[in-house]
Each structure stands twice: as C-alpha cells, then as structure tokens.
C-alpha cells in the first residue's frame, strides 16, 4: 500500500532524507516546511529527479488552523493518506533549566508535542477503518534524549520527546483495530545541521568518540528505519520505539 506520505519538517536533515527515501519507494510525498521554501523545493526536485512525486507545503505546525487546512488540502490529491511521519521539531537552543525562558519552553512544546498530536489526530480521522479509511501508519520521530534526559543542554527538548513516546505507545493501542500502526524512531547523535544552528557546530565531532559504534549516524540511516517501519515487513510491529543511535 502506497498513497500519500506526509512528512512534517521535511526540508532538511532527517525529514529531507525520509521524504526522499519514501519518494523513491513510490509514495506521493507531501513535505512541510516552516521557513526555508528553497530547501523544501530542492527536496521536491530531488524526489522528482528520482522518478517520484512530491510537493512542498508551508506549515506552522503549532497552528491548529494551519494543520486543519493542510489535511483538508490532502483531500484534493486522488490518493489516500497512508503514512504520517511526525518529524517537525525544534530545540529552542541549548540551555540549562535554570536559564530556560518560558517562551522557549512554550514554543518547544507547541511544535514538538501539540503539533504532533494534532497531525496524528487528523491522520487517524482519515486513515481509520471506522472513518472510512484504508488504514495506515504513523511514525513519530523521537530522540534518545527522551531516555537520556538532555542534562546540561536541553531537558526541555528531551521532555517533549518523552511526551511523543507516550503518544506513540498509547495511540498504538487505541487504533490497533482501526487499521493503523503507530511506532517511533529515536535517533541518537545524527550528523545534521541541527547542532550548528543551535550554536554548537563542534558537537558531533566532540560526541562521536563516546558512541559505542564510534561515529555519528546519518540522516539516511534514520530514513531507512522509517521506511522499514512503514513497510509490510513490519506489519506486526506497533507501539515500538526503535533506537537509531549506534548503541548509545
């Protein structure tokens, strides 16, 4: 079963790699972006160059009206929504708890938690057998920080990913008989621009020696895991959170 794959935050890093992977597998990819339209269009072009179908949509995932409008627009595509990858997320920078501003905390929860909940809700309303859907898969992109805690850097970010893990486990049970599987991937240290944009371009090189496998992961390795979870080969897998972390 292919159909539409909605990848939130699909303009860079793990989201871009996932969108490209799914496009090559035959999904019609709709990827969202918050600010960087050019980067999103480059991902679309790469998918099309590989023979796939894709389009990019601007989305503030913290805005319920925008989320609702996006899912309504998906109805104009002559294919069903069969896969949601809840990837959009922000860290709001590195900060110890004692220095954390309320605005940082509010924004990271609005995007990482509220946005993911709203997208999952709308996906269930379209995929579920009880809603006339054909079933489908939801993959929540979490983080190993949810278990490790993010101490000294981003406890606030880690807490949002812990909430996302709870959503994964709870929703998986709630919709299992409605034809929807819900799983998560929990990346560890991945070599993306996330670290530099948060002010620590050296973070990957500094942390890599402490990973049991001795290196940072690649966005494509996370994308491969997402693709497997979405495949028929994982047809009896739901409620799982798969670490993609090199053993950390």
pLDDT at 6: 98
d(CA 8, CA 22): 13
d(CA 222, CA 195): 17
22-44 per-position pLDDT tens digit: 999 999 999 999 999 999 999 99
pLDDT at 192: 87
As a whole number, the mean pLDDT across the chain is 96
Q: Is residue 126 predicted with pLDDT exceeding 80?
A: yes
DSSP code at position 177 = G
Q: What are the E-state strand segments in 118-192?
A: 136-141, 180-187
Catalytic pick among 27, 129, 157, 236: 157
pLDDT at 22: 98
Region 37-54: what's the mean pLDDT?
A: 98
pLDDT at 200: 75
pLDDT at 1: 67
d(CA 109, CA 81): 26
DSSP code at position 210 = G
Annotated catalytic, 157?
A: yes
Number of H helices, E strands in the chain: 10, 7
- What percent of the chain shows pLDDT beyond 70? 98
Domain ranges of the chain: 4-244
pLDDT at 195: 72
Q: Give the residue from 81, 157, 78, 86 showing the smallest Cα distance to 125.
A: 81
Q: Give the residue from 218, 212, 147 showing the smallest Cα distance to 184.
A: 147
The token duo for 169 is 């486990």
Number of alpha carbons in the 13 Å side-chain half-sphere of residue 244: 22
- Exposed, middle or buried: residue 134 (CB in 10 Å: 0-12, 13-18, 19+)? middle
Q: Is residue 201 predicted with pLDDT exceeding 90?
A: no
3-state SS record for 79-125:
CCEEEEEECCCCCCCCECHHHCCHHHHHHHHHHHHHHHHHHHHHHHH
Q: Is residue 194 predicted with pLDDT exceeding 80?
A: no
Q: Is residue 193 predicted with pLDDT exceeding 80?
A: no
| Range from 43-52, 71-80, 139-148, 187-196 carrying the lowest mean pLDDT | 187-196
d(CA 226, CA 11): 16
Region 5-9: what's the mean pLDDT?
A: 98
d(CA 47, CA 54): 7
| Range from 48-62, 131-145, 148-162, 186-200 carrying the lowest mean pLDDT | 186-200
- What percent of the chain shows pLDDT beyond 90? 93
pLDDT at 115: 98
Name the CATH architecture for the domain at 4-244. Answer: 3-Layer(aba) Sandwich (3.40)
**pLDDT band at 97, cuts 50/70/90?**
very high
Please give the angle made by the CA atoms of 115, 92 and 225, to the nearest 5 degrees: 60
């Amino acid at each position: 079963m292919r159909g539409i794959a909605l990848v939130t935050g699909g303009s860079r890093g793990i989201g871009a790699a996932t969108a490209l992977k799914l496009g090559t597998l035959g999904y019609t990819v709709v990827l969202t972006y918050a600010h960087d339209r050019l980067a999103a269009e480059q991902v679309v072009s790469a998918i099309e160059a590989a023979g796939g179908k894709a389009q990019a949509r601007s989305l503030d995932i913290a805005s319920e009206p925008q989320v609702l409008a996006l899912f309504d627009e998906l109805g104009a595509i002559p294919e069903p929504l069969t896969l949601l990858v809840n990837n959009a997320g922000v860290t709001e920078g590195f900060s110890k708890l004692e220095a954390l501003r309320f605005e940082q905390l509010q924004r990271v929860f609005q995007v990482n938690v509220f946005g993911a909940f709203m997208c999952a809700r709308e996906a269930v309303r379209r995929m579920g057998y009880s809603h006339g859907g054909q079933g489908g898969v939801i993959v929540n992109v979490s983080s190993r920080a949810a278990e490790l805690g993010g101490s000294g850097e981003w406890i606030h970010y880690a807490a949002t990913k812990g909430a996302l893990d709870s959503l994964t486990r709870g929703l998986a049970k709630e919709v299992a008989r409605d034809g929807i599987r819900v799983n998560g991937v929990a990346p560890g240290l991945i070599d993306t621009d996330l670290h530099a944009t948060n002010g620590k371009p050296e973070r990957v090189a500094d942390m890599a020696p402490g990973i049991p496998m001795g290196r940072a992961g690649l966005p494509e390795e996370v994308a491969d895991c997402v693709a497997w979870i979405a495949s028929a080969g994982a047809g009896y897998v739901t409620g799982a959170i798969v670490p993609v972390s090199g053993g950390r």
